[in-house]
Amino acid sequence: MSESASTGIGPDSCTAGIPKAYEPQAVEEKWYAFWEKEGCFTANADSPKPAYSIVIPPPNVTGVLHMGHVLNNTIQDILARKARMDGKEVLWLPGTDHAGIATQAVVEKTLRKEGKMKHRDDLGREKFLEHVWAWKEKHGGIIIQQLKKLGCSCDWSRLRFTMDPEYSRCVQKVFVELYKKGLIYRGKRMVNWDPAARTALSDEEVEMTETKGHLWHLKYPMLDAAGQPIPDQFVIVATTRPETMLGDEAVAVNPKDERYTRLVGTKVLLPLQNKPIPIIADDFVDPKFGTGCVKVTPAHDPNDYAMATRHHLPLTVVIGPDGRMTNEAGGGFAGLDRAEARKAVVEQLEKLGLLLKVEDYVHNVGHSQRSGVPIEPYLSEQWFLKYPAVESSTKAVEEARIAFHPDRWAKTYSHWMTNLRDWCISRQLWWGHRVPVWYKKSEIRNPKSEIRAADIYCGMEPPPDPENWEQDPDVLDTWFSSWLWPFATMGWPETTPTLKKFYPTTDLVTGPDIIFFWVARMIMAGYEFMGDLPFRNVYFTGIIRDKLGRKMSKSLGNSPDPLELIAKYGADALRFGTMRSAPLGQDVLFDEKDVELGRNFCNKLWNACRFRQMQGGEVQGEMNPALLTSDDKWILLRLDRAIREINAAYAEYHFNEIAQTLYRFFWSEYCDWYVEAAKAPLQSASPAQKANTLAVMDFVLSHTLRLFHPCLPFISEELWHGMGYSADMPEAQGGKSILFAPWPKPLSDAEKETWGLDDAADQLAAAKYDLVGLGRNWRREFNLPANKKLHFVLKPAGPLAAPEVEVLRLLLNAEQIRVDPGYNPPQGTPRVANSLGELYLPLTGLIDFAAERARLTKELEKARAEVAKVREKLDNPQFTQKVPPKVLEEHQKRLADWQAKVNQVEQSLANLPA
RNA sequence: GCGCGCUUAGCUCAGUGGAAGAGCACUUCCUUCACACGGAAGGGGCCGCAGGUUCAAGUCCUGCAGCGCGCACCA
């Protein structure tokens, strides 16, 4: 493979030429280009392989990559790459979203800044949209390029945008169908109005935030039958929004409230407007709250609107769609912003002596999720959708045909689904899918009267006589297009091969914050238009926070730029670090240290392979069972365990466990123990034995690289070729790319038997490493420098082959280990022991016996405590009778082990000088 | 108000019924021919509090407290 030459590692490269540290930049660029050129990510709809598919949650077309994207897309990429290695035909379908309000707001802001307009009306619809499209062309590809940097294996040939002409047709078709079914209707309602964006919003786009405000108590003068104020007689109303009083049309009391019964039917004088308004009785009013009198502002409060409807009160609009007071608010207030008007109204009332008191008051205020400003309840005509396929969608999740991970979100879903309210889908914007509805021009549009059905034309094509019609100016909520994403991206309404092969999709990876916005609606759209669920599993990621637990935001400046991290540490490092700290369903506290850990891990992998290369020779294919050492057998068993653990973690979407197992296996088991132990045969054994050790390394590394590939796609590919493991594989199964190499299988019983991977070998190696640990501890105890060569004596408990002793010698960094079954140590020789035998360090005179005695005493105490703990359990007949046999055996063995430890340590202590 | 999470080593977090774990940070030693983006050895936990179930509880149940997040029209 010529690709390997440039970065240094490879079968033919000379040792000196391999960089000591992994340098990801060139490697990542090279392999991404290779994958794309070779069409590795392109899904074949005609493939006989079983299908695996994911649709990307489309990022905002003009957005840039942030840490949330990194988390989300790394997970999707891991799933996609794992599925390929499992032999599936994989489609990861990418795309972007037009993100109506967000994009329009950004473009408007830019155009204002550039002095090209003050308000979009200055440009007009067509001209303005030209600017948005230009913006989209300029910025739309950025996030796609960034996803490629991250290594995402999306099928870019199928890239979709929610405003693609074909996609727009889907949106129109869906609107028309639902309109004809009567599920989409037009209505005059009190909606959530965003005065900054000047559009209606859905309920889901309103965030209730606890706000410190005030409760103003206002005095409304009572009027007598002749309409004259009764001196010193007032009705007291309390309000959090005094500016709305300019639009009051009544004061309401509870009909059962005896304090006010006699007042019902009389009138009060609305201050400032000097308008008589009635006192009405309505059950809505809670007599126990405040004074029991409520001011009624029909046009600016949903409850008041409902009351006004019941009592046939007029609607006085005093706040306009721009959040400024209208002419109806009166001369002194018209034109003021609602916040300014509040101050002005309070000031005036105070002057008139009509402000009784002001209390601090904490309450929830709806804010626009987009622009952050307080929502204004606003009466307007909008399009609404009565959700389709609700029952099947609810059941699909409740009966786990669609599985949520973690499943607790199913409860949230269920709660929302059983309390659905119609979805306000029209937006007073220009950037988006325009409502496919035309109104007859001859009908003079009177905002106070609703348009008759006969004068509405709804269709995918404009009416045949367009000159007589006028299209609805509004566009549709962005989510009204993204809810079709899983099938509209696959060629629906045609039954395309892609749709046939890959719908329903397998997994969806998204954030729980859009469970209502997107996930629930996609499920309903799936059932309504495809007659089937859109995905089988939904993985909900956590939210990425900074290390102080704060949400990442531009204003806080606590959001690192993933591309800078990639440039600094490599994409693999970013992916691995993120996965390792991202438990299922929990928020992720991101720390750059995690990425550093990822980089260090890649470097470890690089150097472990570099070490193998430095031993020379071709890839060794066959392991000769007769030549396998206990260390070989031990690492093969550890590999087997790692494969099983990783498979189990994949099955449960536990990505942090996958990363942690990879880390533990490769670093703590393979590098720390196996490689160090293997240096013994590599340095001194026969050529055949040496070759066999290399065969074990090649076996383990070639499996390891494949286990790593979904998480670390770049370095695993580089090393896969560099080490020559691709050479033996069929072209389509790893020969071309590790992408298609078969996913490692756990070792079979037959393999374990062939290679002699039994408990005895496993325990021999483990005992060796244990003894090494005990021996190494002496260096610290006795202040012996780590590089000082020492002489040990080993008194083995049984027969011990010379190569095992050589491993001990190497791991202990010993000059020599003298094996002497009959060794009779002089009093005072430090001693440790386990099942392997007794290890002595004859160093009389150099030793701090007090420290050794203290250490051994502590160890003895610990061992005795453990013995006591286990013995207590075993002495309990309840325990021995009820416990499963396996657990009983474990405890008995534990007792024996700790007892042996006690004996060993006692002997070691006895061996110290008194 | 209802619902859902979280509370384990200095920090960030794994660990869902059978001997308290990882990474980082810290201490000591080591530039030994894969790696100082490294190696070795250490120190450090009433597993939030109180009850209960069980032979056995960090793990299951019930309260309580603190923190966080959803949902909810009380002015």
The residue ranges of every structural domain in chain A are 5-15+564-757, 206-369, 849-914
pLDDT of the residue at A16:
44
CA atom of A515 to C1′ atom of B51, Å: 38
CB A460 within 8 A of CB A452: no
Count Cα atoms within 13 angstroms, Cβ side, for A355: 20
The domain over range A849-914 is classified in CATH as 1.10.287: yes
Cα-trace Rg, chain A: 37
pLDDT band at A8 (very low <50, low <70, confident <90, very high): low
pLDDT band at A12 (very low <50, low <70, confident <90, very high): very low
pLDDT band at A363 (very low <50, low <70, confident <90, very high): confident
The nucleotide lying nearest A365 (C-alpha to C1') is: B73
The Cα A688–Cα A679 span in angstroms is 15
pLDDT band at A553 (very low <50, low <70, confident <90, very high): low
CA atom of A598 to C1′ atom of B49, Å: 38
Q: Which of A545-549, A596-600, A831-835 has the lowest mean pLDDT?
A: A545-549
Nucleotide B39's nearest residue (CA vs C1') is: A672
Q: Centre a 10 Å sphere on the Cβ of residue A755 and count the other Cβ atoms it contains.
A: 20
CB A804 within 8 A of CB A764: yes
The nucleotide lying nearest A295 (C-alpha to C1') is: B75
CA atom of A769 to C1′ atom of B21, Å: 20
The nucleotide lying nearest A515 (C-alpha to C1') is: B70
> What's the 3-state SS for A222-238?
EECCCCCEEEEEEEEEE
**Above 80 in pLDDT, residue A445?**
no
What are the residue ranges of helices labelled H in A261-337?
302-311
**Above 90 in pLDDT, residue A452?**
no
Please write the tens of the pLDDT for every residue from A133-173: 999 999 888 999 999 999 999 999 999 999 999 999 999 99
CA atom of A584 to C1′ atom of B49, Å: 28
**Above 60 in pLDDT, residue A661?**
yes
A848, two tokens: 């701090």
CB A820 within 8 A of CB A813: no
Strands A544-545 and A588-589: parallel
Q: Which of A274-288, A396-410, A544-558 has the lowest mean pLDDT?
A: A544-558
CA atom of A707 to C1′ atom of B29, Å: 35
The nucleotide lying nearest A585 (C-alpha to C1') is: B5
CB A527 within 8 A of CB A396: yes
Which whole-number Å values give the CA distances from A5 to A1, A458, A738, in the listed order?
8, 63, 18
Please write the tens of the pLDDT for every residue from A102-115: 899 889 889 889 88
Which whole-number Å values give the CA distances from A741 to A97, A730, A745, A781, in the listed order?
34, 9, 12, 49
Nucleotide B72's nearest residue (CA vs C1') is: A208
A5-15+564-757 in CATH: which number?
Answer: 1.10.730.10
| High-pLDDT (> 90) share of chain A, % | 63
CA atom of A271 to C1′ atom of B75, Å: 18
The residues, ordered by sequence, that sit 6+ positions from A351 with a Cβ below 8 Å of its Cβ are: none
Q: Which of A4-13, A364-373, A462-471 has the lowest mean pLDDT?
A: A4-13
Please write the tens of the pLDDT for every residue from A737-790: 999 999 999 999 999 999 999 989 899 999 999 999 999 998 888 888 888 888
Strands A184-194 and A229-239: unpaired
pLDDT band at A96 (very low <50, low <70, confident <90, very high): very high
The nucleotide lying nearest A891 (C-alpha to C1') is: B19
The nucleotide lying nearest A682 (C-alpha to C1') is: B33
pLDDT band at A616 (very low <50, low <70, confident <90, very high): confident
Mean pLDDT of chain A, nearest integer: 90
A890, two tokens: 């474990």
Q: Tell me whether 0.90 is exceeded by the ipTM.
A: yes
pLDDT band at A290 (very low <50, low <70, confident <90, very high): confident
Q: Could you say which nucleotides of strand B lie within 7 A of any protein CB atom? A: 3-6, 11-15, 18-19, 22-24, 28-42, 54-56, 70-75
Strands A275-281 and A267-270: antiparallel
Q: Which of A49-58, A260-269, A488-497, A844-853 has the lowest mean pLDDT?
A: A844-853
**Above 90 in pLDDT, residue A449?**
no
Please write the tens of the pLDDT for every residue from A300-316: 998 899 899 889 999 89
Which fold, A206-369? Isoleucyl-tRNA Synthetase; domain 2 (3.90.740)
Please write the tens of the pLDDT for every residue from A235-256: 999 999 999 999 999 999 999 8
Cis peptide bond prior to A583, omega within 30° of 0: no
Q: Is A482 helix (H, G, I), strand (E, B) or coil?
A: helix
Please write the tens of the pLDDT for every residue from A807-863: 999 999 999 999 999 999 888 888 999 999 999 998 766 667 888 888 888 889 889
